[in-house]
Amino acid sequence: MKRPILIVTIGYIIGIIVGLYLNKSIVPLCIILIGIYIIYKILYKRQSKRFKLFSIKRYLRYLKIYINKKVILLIIISAIFSNTITITQNQRYEKIYNNLENEENIELIGIVISNREEKQYYNKYKVQVRYDNKKLKIYINTNKDVQLNYGDKIKFFGTYIKPEVQRNYKGFDYSKYLRQLKVYGTIKCSKVNILKENNFNSIFKISNNISSKVISNTNKVLKPEESSILLGLILGYKTDIDEQTQEEFKDASMLHILAISGMHITYVILGINIIFKNRIGKKLTNIFSIIILIFYMFITNFSSSITRAGIMGILMIFSKIIYRKNDIYTSISISLLAILIYNPFLIQNVGLQLSYGGVLGIVVFNKNILKFLKSINIKNKIYRYKIKPKIQKKLDKIKEIISISISVQIAILPIIICNMNTFNPYFLLSNFLLSIIIGPIIILGFIFIIIAFINIQIAQKLSAFIEIGINLLKFISKIGKLKYSKIYIPTLSLFSIIIYYIIVIAIIFIYQVYSAKKPNKTQIRIRNLIALGKIKLRENKKIAKVIIIFLFIFILGIKLLPGNLKIYFIDVGQGDSCLIVTPHNKTILIDGGGSVNSDFDVGENTLLPYILDRGFTKIDTIIISHFDNDHVGRNSIFIKRDKSRKCDYWQSI
């Protein structure tokens, strides 16, 4: 069996998805599938050997190359295992929610496992407690005068705040988000007593002290904006980056640089090899690299992207130590399986989906896309001679950058649309400019971080170069402000996503078949099959035309026929809002919520995502019942969308 870890990972993911979205045991489904397979084998009879173009049985033979009894058995076992874990953990969360909610005055002892997060009216900490004979992580909100440190053992009293569930259609579910962090909710503290200081695992304590000192020293040397971007770039620490900067990076398709990726790991390994390879030898350098990568994962708090990149980097180095070839699919599978075993709810994490989607896009699509781009020969038509080798090398490098950007974008496009509902057509431009400057900035950033940890005075001499690099990143982010740089797209259905990936894979596969200089037997067979299909279509042109016309009329009829009147009441918090969809698919929005006393942007964070989730990018009519703040407040969608002219007309009643 080839790549058994990959098979196990696929089964593990299937089990988690069934447990999360259906909340049902996968065992009955597995029994039914096994039963169908046995019945098919019993009732199977040989058919005539006459060639048929549309023979499902013949095409299924190709699947037997990859899917056999051992593979199916491995998938079923791993799926049942992960499905059972997911359902059990779901039930555990609900049980603890109910138990904590039923307690009026909660008294717990725990250890602070995060640094202070300052809010407007309170301080927020993450605390590890023992409750119902189990270790749990919870957030606590304390008064501003309460100052706690990482590792403090505390005794606290307060009331439990249960995480909110999804309130609107496809809306944000805070309880699911906290499950990705293994957090069971929040306790609003009325009293906190410090029992003991520095009462936590020494390794975590050391790594936290190092990251805290790096953050503190960087903030002392650089301006707040430059410091926050650099810390996001090197450590993935995005807490201090203001919303406007994050929005600009997101609109310019640059947000991925603020998450630790394989690029960061590559530079870490490269730096260690340059410094130590000639001094301590190749093998010891590789071992030291693994130790540094593990420590780097500690100080960056084991986020999904750094864990993925770190594990893959460690496996690559380990394969060199034991003189084995590193298999990229196995490395991806091991890293993903490790993350999901730790916490199956991380499968819903957008960062994890984008990280693995981008890597798979490069692995699956990049080779063929680069081959296609290199097949495009640029010649000087005036002088009729080939481009000089030096220029050709630069053009090939540009093609590689473009190929990687396209590969990543193809793979993650449905994820971006489903979670952000936007598409930036200038992504090639922003990613090309990034590829030129991001390497030197990251290398310089690592050097600056290390020096700032040791000596602030020396780091101040490098601060001018860091500021230049950060300002270049901010300049590139202005691409997100160009016209049509932010195209809104409705949330895709599961069926649309599946069709999208099938079409993309089919196009890549067909291109691979026809671009092969020395096609193998399977590729020749596919070519012949496609040619035979074309012949059959030519022979039955009339039937094909009738089918196309019928499909066109059917789709047009579905669009033109009136549907049902739909009225959706939207939970916007304090205010009111209602979306009406007429039988002819016209949209009417009545009120938009909002609050003058709150910084929460109802229009941006609630209404706009809701309308896009319902499949609309335009409101035909907006009706305002009256102009109170809870119906058309300053954070309402009316103000947000006024300049874009997405509404045909307004009406006040």
pLDDT in tens, 5-37: 999 999 999 999 999 988 888 888 888 878 877
Percent of the chain scoring above 70 in pLDDT: 89
468-524 confidence digits (pLDDT tens): 999 999 999 888 888 888 888 999 888 899 999 999 998 998 888 888 888 887 788
618-642 confidence digits (pLDDT tens): 888 888 887 777 677 655 554 444 4
283-326 confidence digits (pLDDT tens): 888 888 888 888 888 888 777 778 888 888 888 888 888 877 88
- pTM for the full model? 0.84
Phi first, then psi: what are they for 259, rounded to 5°? -120, 135
pLDDT for position 649 = 41
174-193 confidence digits (pLDDT tens): 999 999 999 999 999 999 99
pLDDT bin (cut points 50, 70, 90) of residue 596 is: low
558-570 confidence digits (pLDDT tens): 777 777 899 999 8
Q: Is the pLDDT of residue 648 over 50?
A: no
Look at residues 8, 30, 16 and name the one whose alpha carbon lies nearest to residue 75. Answer: 8
Q: Which two tokens stand for residue 110?
A: 């725990």
Query: What are the C-alpha distances in Å from 40 to residues 34, 43, 45, 59, 645?
Result: 10, 5, 9, 17, 59
pLDDT for position 179 = 94
pLDDT bin (cut points 50, 70, 90) of residue 386 is: low
Which positions ≥6 away from 206 have C-beta within 8 Å? none
Which amino acid would we find at residue 218? T
| CA–CA separation, 67 and 44 (whole Å) | 19
Highest mean pLDDT among 103-107, 433-437, 499-503: 499-503
Query: Mean pLDDT, the chain, as a whole number?
Result: 83
Give me the numbers of helices (H) and strands (E) for the chain, helices first please.
23, 15
pLDDT bin (cut points 50, 70, 90) of residue 224 is: confident
Instruction: Tell me if residue 253 falls in helix, strand or coil.
Output: coil
| CA–CA separation, 498 and 610 (whole Å) | 23
Give the residues across from 386 on adjacent strands: 379
